[in-house]
Structure 1
Amino acid sequence: MQSETPPNFWGYMPPEEYYTSQGVRNTHSYFETPNGKIFTQSFLPLDRPDVKGTVYMSHGYGSDTGWLFQKICISFTTWGYAVFAADLLGHGRSDGLRCYLGDMEKVAATSLSYFRHVRRSEPYKDLPAFLFGESMGGLATMLMYFQSEPDEWTGLMFSAPLFVIPENMKPSKVRLFLYGMLFGIADTWAAMPDNKMVGKAIKDPEKLKIIASNPRRYTGPPRVGTMREIARVCQYIQDNFSKVKAPFLTVHGTADGVTCPTSSQLLYEKASSADKSLKMYDGMYHSLIQGEPDENADIVLKDMREWIDERVERYGSKHITP
């Protein structure tokens, strides 16, 4: 008989008790946008009334903010940051057809409306503020940056961002063309090959089991419109890397089989930012924090902590828009 899946990635401990044990206070609620309701979470440090800055996080394809992604949120919170995360449209507990991303500009604008709402609120408006995106969340984060005022964000952080699709993951142009002949009827069909992405993302077998047990993870084939739009937006981002002027850190594993390491390398080479950082991790897979053995994840987190702490020190609140 199959054992019941625990309600949380950490097991059966009540959520409040778990978060307290990690030194964070967690709240969650729904945020109304013109495109529907999105599920949002905040993670605040328990033991310090003041925070260094705010970080606004976006998860990857098929995932959500409520399972292992929280490990990233909690880490940043224990370093003294207020962290805010939202399930992307069509993901987790947010509105929208499951994993349908037929308009990435809209998906990005929806999360951005929540992030801006918090960013401009009284406790946080004068603090350094960072956008963080993992995997496809990196693609959404870059669109959010392009939709923002030039100095709205102190910096950007990307973990294995999706800007370049590996050859074996690219949607077939013939297939997309044939579906396109159906005049949009096929756009929402879950009919594209999925190439078993999860196995290529997670190195640690125990963590793979935990991630696979997420009850809100999307496990169906990719939708036609999703793959069409991801291919289009990746090309758009590649064509506009030079418009990136904010300070940023991008990190990638060299053995990433889901998003090309050249995503981070090209961003680093082509961005106009005066302050830009690239970290490549030899032999690491796609999911650098949730999916690698702890000793590897700790290396990545240490680099992220050093980078963000240094930017808070360097820029303070001078990037803040009045």
Structure 2
Amino acid sequence: MSLKVDLLNFWGDTPEDEFYASQGMRNKNDFFKTPHGTIFTQEFLPIELQPKGILCMTHGYGSDTSWTFQILALEAVKWGHAVYCADMLGHGRSDGILGYITDVEKMAAASLTFFKEMRDSDVNKGLPTFLFGESMGGGVTFLMHFQDPKGWDGFIFASPLFKMPDLMRPTRLEIIGFSLLRRFVDTWALFPDRFKGKRVVGDPIKGATIFRNPRRYTGKPRVGTMLELSRMVDDICMRMDKFNAPFLTLRGTADEITAPEGNQALFEMAATPDRTLKP
């Protein structure tokens, strides 16, 4: 399938309801108010099967839930799960300046508010519940564990941003300089774009498709965003030994945005005995 830049869906021009029905599922999207802002949410539910579990999914930096990230959700529904997704604050159709992250804890809490309401709804009571996070969304999902430590049966991390590769991480001079100026330039897209040209998947066609998302943030990293992500990975590294929930962590070998050492560190340090690491 050749993609047009102006398409709103990765599969082409087929109407959404028709496409989802052809996949054996129905989709519902809405806007959900949280104490931290309004977020855009999506539900993917099997048409004929009773769900055997629920999966709450968080996307990566600059992305949203309405493009190729849906492919994972569609597969999970085919496996018999009800899937719930939310555009993080500053992403997609949720509140905030596109590509701007002011507080990762609040960003995690906003999505978690929606996930908890879906988990605790009458229709889902008693079902196994899992949180999934991809890339930066993996780091955000890690933080959700500490905001709601007993509410989930397990966590799945896909190439999570637990550690930045050295070439991607802001230099000490950049952190000091931009921190001093943060009050004035927090939302400005001034950071060198070290993400540009880096692979997120091995297949170049899939990689090109990902970046054709019309709602994706493609500008230089904003000052506040990079400072906050640097703080997030430092915080995650300090809390790995306190992570105490079953988890599976996956690492795509073609991903150049996140560092595989982060996966390995969580596997070695986490407090839970129920842990799995797959390359």
* TM interval, short-chain normalised: over 0.9
Q: Which residue of 2 aligns with 1:99?
A: 99
d(CA) in 2 for partners of 1:43, 1:3? 25
Q: Distance in 2 between matches of 1:219 and 1:247?
A: 34
- Match status 1:156 vs 2:155: yes
SS at match of 1:146: helix
Deviation at 1:183, TM superposition (A): 5.1
Which residue is equivalent to 2:57?
57
Structure 1 residues 254, 210: closer, same or farther in 2, change over 3 A? closer
Counterpart-to-counterpart distance in 1, 2:262 and 2:248: 13
Matched residues, number: 277
Task: Decide whether the 8 Å contact of 2:182 with 2:223 is kept in 1.
Answer: no
Aligned counterpart, 1:300: none
Give me the identity figure in percent: 48
Shift of 1:178: 1.4
Q: What root-mean-square deviation, in Å, do the aligned CA atoms of Structure 1 and Structure 2 show?
A: 1.5
What do the CA deviations read for 1:261-295 (whole angstroms, capped 9, x no partner)?
A: 11111111101112100000xxxxxxxxxxxxxxx
Preserved CA contact (<8 Å) 1:156 1:246: yes
- Distance, in Å, in 2 between the alignment partners of 1:228 and 1:6 is 33
Secondary structure of the 1:240 match is helix
Shift of 1:254: 3.1
Task: Please state how far the C-alpha of 1:28 moved relative to its aligned partner.
Answer: 0.3
| Alignment match, 1:297 | none
Structure 1 unmatched runs, 5+ = 281-322
Shift of 1:33: 1.1
SS at match of 2:258: coil
The question of 1:224 aligning with 2:223 is answered: yes
Task: Using the TM superposition, name which of 65-74 and 203-212 deviates more.
Answer: 203-212
- Give how far 1:198 is off: 5.9
2:242 and 2:198 mapped to 1: Cα distance?
Answer: 34
Distance in 2, matches of 1:152 and 1:197, equals 37
CA distance in 2, matches of 1:124, 1:53: 8
- Partner residue in 1 for 2:23: 22
Measure how far apart 1:151 and its partner are.
Answer: 2.2
- Where does 1:1-322 land on structure 2 (aligned, <5 Å)? 5-48=6-49, 50-148=50-148, 150-182=149-181, 184-197=183-196, 199-280=198-279
Q: Is the 8 A contact 1:199 1:208 kept in 2?
A: no
Letter paired with 2:68: L
* CA-CA distance at 1:73 after TM superposition: 0.5
For 1:223 and 1:7, the matched residues in 2 are separated by 25
CA contact (8 A) 2:162 2:237 kept: yes
1:295 paired residue number: none
Stretches (4+) displaced over 6 A: none
Contact 2:132 / 2:141 at 8 angstroms: preserved in 1?
yes
Write the letter of the residue equivalent to 1:68. Answer: T
Which moved further from structure 2: 104-113 or 199-208? 199-208
| Deviating more after overlay: 25-34 vs 255-264 | 255-264
CA distance in 2, matches of 1:198, 1:161: 19
> Residues of 2 paired with 1:69 and 1:271: CA distance?
28
Please, what TM-score do these two structures have when normalized by structure 2? 0.95
CA separation of 1:263 and 1:5: change in aligned 2, threshold 3 A: same
